Structure 1
Amino acid sequence: MVTCHQKSMLSVDSSVPAFILFGLVYGLIITRNVRGIRLPIWAIMSIGALLSLMLQLITFEQALKAINFEIIFFLFGMFVLVSGLESSGLLKYITIKILERARTPNRILGFILLILGLLSAFLINDTIALVATPIVIGLATQMKIRPVPLLITLAFGVTIGSMLTPIGNPQNLLVSLNSGMDNPFLNFMFYLGVPTFACLAVTYLILSKFYKKEFDNSMIPPSLTSENIIENPTLARISLIITLSVIAGFFLIGFIKTIGVDTDINFSYPALVGGLLLLVITKQRKKIFLQINWKIIAFFVSMFIFMAAMWNGKVIDVFASVFPTLTSSDELAAIFAIISTSAGLSQIMSNVPFVAVYLQIMQNLGVSSTDTLLWIALASASTLAGNLTILGAASNIIILEAAEKHKTEAFSFWEFFKIGSIVTVVTMAILGMFLLLYSYI
């Protein structure tokens, strides 16, 4: 694929243990529900990162450089804010108020896809996945069906919906931070507004057809009640005000850069400041701090380290060699290369570390801040790639972990892949058609 980034910093001998470790880590993830194996995926990835250091596939200094702290700080800040919304009961209240209008199985399917998907665009798909999982499980119990169809619907919804904005998911944030594009919010919503809704609509049709028999045999759930859900009105009010202020800050940063003001401030700043502000001014700081999803932060830190080690061991080179070579001279060929490589390598690397690596590839090939369509292609294609397998997106892992925490059997690797392959092919085709159209405008 590229030139300078294919040069391993370690010896060629590191390839053998790297491939063995790669097989071990991904083998454990794929077979984690076989014969009673219940290792959490964040723990498997953490073990992989630790073994990478122990086997000297990556040095400690390289591991520190591999961690994208802007992403970690952004996630920490947003997780604090969402923890405040959740601890107060406000986030659950909002979700139930939305879902209580759904009185048929197909409406519930549509509401989960559309509404929770759009919430993900502004509150990060990982956080909505975490909060909504127990609610979705409760709905499945009331409907007398397996929770799997609704959990898979949730996974697809928060992934596709998060494509809409630069803060919907970590990979979009990476692109907006590193591409240098002007006003990421306006660019993302301009190019991806219609494709996002089109992908949600076609996914609804696929899911309703795929799980038709289960939905036909389900019961109409009783009315949900949102009474007495908000446990702490003061915390709810403060968390909401700060969260809305942070989101306004995201738009303000985009506007400032659009009018030509040179600043190093990015989206991670308001998120981190907002999260720290909430911890300082609220009396429930201990509860909020403990409810932060530290497992997901550990997963991201470990994943950055592990994937850097796999890069050093030339594992990524082998997989990358089967995909089209990216060229900056032909926009259409570049879009095709980005989409196909995103779909494939996101399953191996997960979409966030894949984007972290591919950003450098694009920049080394001369893709500039003005090549907006190529950056949009990278963000959106890597996002939709998360629907192919449970390894493609961290939000899938979060739903699995949250379901197991509630002692519910979630989707298996193979069931997710069976329907995810259909959804991914169709939505990628829709995205490709729109990107092709934009390239001619």
Structure 2
Amino acid sequence: MIIPVVILCLVFFLTITRQIGNVRLDLWQIMGLGALAVLLSGQIPLQEAMESINVDVMLFLFGVFAIGQALEASGYLSQVSYNFFKSAKNMDAIILFVLFGMGLASAFLMNDTLAIIGTPVVLLLARQHQINPKVLLLALAFAVTTGSVASPIGNPQNLLIALNSGIKDPFVVFARYLLLPTIINLIVVYFVLKFFFKEHFSTNVLNHSQPQICDAKLADLSRLSLILLISLVCVKILIQLFSISFDFRLTYIALIAAVPVLVFSKKRFEIIKKMDWHTLFFFASMFILMESVWDSGFFQGILVNTKQNVVSIPMILSVSVVLSQFISNVPLVALYLPILSHASVDTGGLLALAAGSTIAGNLSVLGAASNVIIIHNAEKKGNVTLSFIEFAKIGVPLTIIQTGVYWFFLSL
């Protein structure tokens, strides 16, 4: 049963090196090899592997990818980006706009959504103003991960906690406990980036040029899709706030919002063709590999058999940050929640689990799905990438500081 864990370690190693001999590997290929390895070694039956693929997540990503592709192809995304960033006159302002614009938006539109829409935006900014794209990509990755902490619908693991922990009025509770430390942690990201990339924070005045719409009809449909996406998310928030018993999944929101560009656009097949299928393949492979690792019981045994007090806030934060790197944050939360419920932990402990399992995404490339989306899109659209080491060099100290901030506020 240790074989899936060994394969997972090999996947981590290949993610760091991105190389087999003289062959350069993409992240989707590495994860695909991991999934293939557990299948061929008999660690997971084919039927169980297929059932492990989360259809809701795949359809959600499909819908948002379609909207993102249409927004970019029509030129409407560039126009929206111009209107948002035109008042940012220097590098400091650009970074702060990315952190607080993308970060706080991710709390309500979900971090993966902002990763999909935000990547072409920051790549465009980098090209227009001769900014190192890696700085903006890191800012985007840290922003959508950190910002999503403050809301029960900011990411899948928060939603799981909100729905299964018995927290009453989750939007109010998440905001009360996590909004202020999240804002502080977004400021922390700014100073950490400025420390590591101080030579890129020039005081030169930036002049923004207004882009033109490439395809007016597709832009209109893209605008409609974007309005639908935001409106339906607001409906879901109201359903949550008023505790209405209605299964209005994020999957439905993404697919309904994608209808204008996939049904009414004449370029629907071009949109589908140019979507980021490699990222979808990555997620399907990741579900298979993580299910095999989960079935091994290796990490569950470590958590259950540890002699430490795993229900204290410091331990919840530490364990969730570390183990989320190996079994992903949603399975980690699914494992940890029953332990916390059995121990009757208070709201602070439950929100520590939400915060820790989320900011785990700032530690490494594989810590959050949004990181993979950003890197895949950057490689595809901008011919630029972030290596495992480049990400971790900034992500590790950042995560340590952010963990301390949440620890302080949740322990009050």
Name the SS of the counterpart of 1:167 in structure 2.
coil
Name the SS of the counterpart of 2:365 in structure 1.
coil
Structure 1 residue aligned with 2:185: 199
What CA distance in whole angstroms lies between the structure 1 residues aligned with 2:277 and 2:147? 24
What CA distance in whole angstroms lies between the structure 2 residues aligned with 1:324 and 1:168? 33
For residue 268 of structure 2, the aligned residue among 280, 285, 289 is 285
For residue 279 of structure 2, the aligned residue among 287, 291, 296 is 296
Structure 1's 341 and 274: CA in aligned 2 closer, same or farther, altered over 3 A? same
Structure 1's 193 and 183: CA in aligned 2 closer, same or farther, altered over 3 A? same
Tell me if structure 2 keeps the 8 A contact 1:343–1:381: yes
Structure 1 residue aligned with 2:14: 28
The answer to whether 1:129 aligns with 2:115 is yes
Structure 1 residue 277 displacement after superposition? 6.9
Structure 1 residue aligned with 2:390: 415
Structure 2 residue aligned with 1:59: 45
Structure 2 residue aligned with 1:5: none
Tell me if structure 1 keeps the 8 A contact 2:64–2:116: no
What CA distance in whole angstroms lies between the structure 2 residues aligned with 1:323 and 1:149? 39
Q: Which moved more, 1:340-349 or 1:232-241?
A: 232-241
Structure 1 residue 207 displacement after superposition? 1.5
Structure 2 residue aligned with 1:428: 403
Structure 1 residue 266 displacement after superposition? 4.2
For residue 289 of structure 2, the aligned residue among 306, 309, 312 is 306
Structure 2 residue aligned with 1:8: none
Tell me if structure 1 keeps the 8 A contact 2:67–2:261: yes
Structure 1 residue 71 displacement after superposition? 3.1
TM-score norm. by structure 1 comes to 0.81
Q: Which moved more, 1:388-397 or 1:69-78?
A: 69-78
Structure 1 residue 147 displacement after superposition? 2.4
Structure 1 residue 295 displacement after superposition? 2.7
For residue 320 of structure 2, the aligned residue among 342, 348, 351 is 342
The answer to whether 1:384 aligns with 2:359 is yes
Within 5 Å, give how 1:28-427 maps onto structure 2: 28-32=14-18, 37-216=23-202, 219-228=204-213, 231=216, 232-257=218-243, 261-276=244-259, 279-317=262-300, 320=303, 325=308, 333-351=311-329, 355-363=330-338, 366=341, 372-406=347-381, 408-427=383-402
Structure 2 residue aligned with 1:6: none
Tell me if structure 2 keeps the 8 A contact 1:143–1:220: no
What CA distance in whole angstroms lies between the structure 1 residues aligned with 2:380 and 2:364? 21
Structure 1's 409 and 48: CA in aligned 2 closer, same or farther, altered over 3 A? same
Superposed CA offset, 1:339-373 (max 9, x none): 1011111222333xxx2243233225535999544
Structure 1 residue 84 displacement after superposition? 4.4
Structure 1's 128 and 37: CA in aligned 2 closer, same or farther, altered over 3 A? farther
Structure 1 residue 64 displacement after superposition? 3.8
Q: Which moved more, 1:141-150 or 1:93-102?
A: 141-150
Counterpart of 2:396 in structure 1: which amino acid? S
Name the SS of the counterpart of 2:389 in structure 1.
helix
Structure 1 residue 225 displacement after superposition? 1.6
Structure 1's 235 and 145: CA in aligned 2 closer, same or farther, altered over 3 A? closer
Structure 1's 158 and 177: CA in aligned 2 closer, same or farther, altered over 3 A? same
Q: Which moved more, 1:202-211 or 1:359-368?
A: 359-368
What CA distance in whole angstroms lies between the structure 1 residues aligned with 2:112 and 2:147? 12
Structure 1's 322 and 205: CA in aligned 2 closer, same or farther, altered over 3 A? farther
Tell me if structure 1 keeps the 8 A contact 2:225–2:260: no
What CA distance in whole angstroms lies between the structure 1 residues aligned with 2:271 and 2:168? 35
Q: Which moved more, 1:292-301 or 1:75-84?
A: 75-84
Tell me if structure 2 keeps the 8 A contact 1:153–1:207: yes
Superposed CA offset, 1:26-61 (max 9, x none): 221110168764322122112211221221111234
Tell me if structure 2 keeps the 8 A contact 1:160–1:383: yes
Structure 1's 434 and 36: CA in aligned 2 closer, same or farther, altered over 3 A? farther
Structure 1 residue 128 displacement after superposition? 2.6
Structure 2 residue aligned with 1:3: none
- Give me the CA root mean square deviation: 3.1
What CA distance in whole angstroms lies between the structure 1 residues aligned with 2:128 and 2:67? 30
What CA distance in whole angstroms lies between the structure 1 residues aligned with 2:369 and 2:394? 18
For structure 1, which runs of at least 5 residues remain unmatched after alignment? Answer: 1-13, 328-332
Structure 1 residue 198 displacement after superposition? 0.9
What CA distance in whole angstroms lies between the structure 2 residues aligned with 1:196 and 1:229? 37
Counterpart of 1:340 in structure 2: which amino acid? S
TM-score norm. by structure 2 comes to 0.87
Counterpart of 1:348 in structure 2: which amino acid? F
Q: Which moved more, 1:382-391 or 1:333-342?
A: 333-342
Across the two proteins, how many residue pairs are aligned to each other?
A: 411
Counterpart of 1:423 in structure 2: which amino acid? L
Structure 2 residue aligned with 1:7: none
Structure 1's 128 and 44: CA in aligned 2 closer, same or farther, altered over 3 A? same
Structure 1 residue 155 displacement after superposition? 1.5
Counterpart of 2:350 in structure 1: which amino acid? W
Q: Percent identity?
A: 38
Superposed CA offset, 1:122-169 (max 9, x none): 333223323333442343345445322222122111211222323333
